[in-house]
Homo-oligomer: A and B are copies of this chain.
């Protein structure tokens, strides 16, 4: 398989990976078993990838990681809202 297509597919899959977790949290309104450290670590690491994408001027890296940061920020907000329950 062509390397660049493989990279794009891999990036797309890992970018949307947290989406089912966010949907589950929004449905069940329960975050007891989620790790806050995981969410914060992901937001930090993925933000660095966006920065890396800007430095390297690689739009696929910027877009896929920016999307993942967005999903994780939504997950963080949900965590703050639902952790009291």
Binding site for B on A (CB under 8 A): 3, 6-7, 9-14, 16-21, 23-25, 28, 30-35, 37-38, 41-42, 44-46, 48-49, 51-52, 55-56
Taking a contact as CB atoms under 8 Å apart, the answer to whether B14 and A37 are in contact is no
Is A13's CB under 8 angstroms from B52's CB? no
Instruction: List B contacts of A10 (CB < 8 A).
Output: 45-46, 48-49, 51-52
Query: CB < 8 Å: which of B17, B38, B55 contacts A6?
Result: B55
A18: chain B residues within 8 A (beta carbon): 38
Closest B residue to A31 by beta carbon equals B33
Determine whether the beta carbon of A42 is less than 8 Å from that of B55. no
Please, which residues of chain B bring their CB within 8 A of the CB of A33? 24-25, 28, 30-34
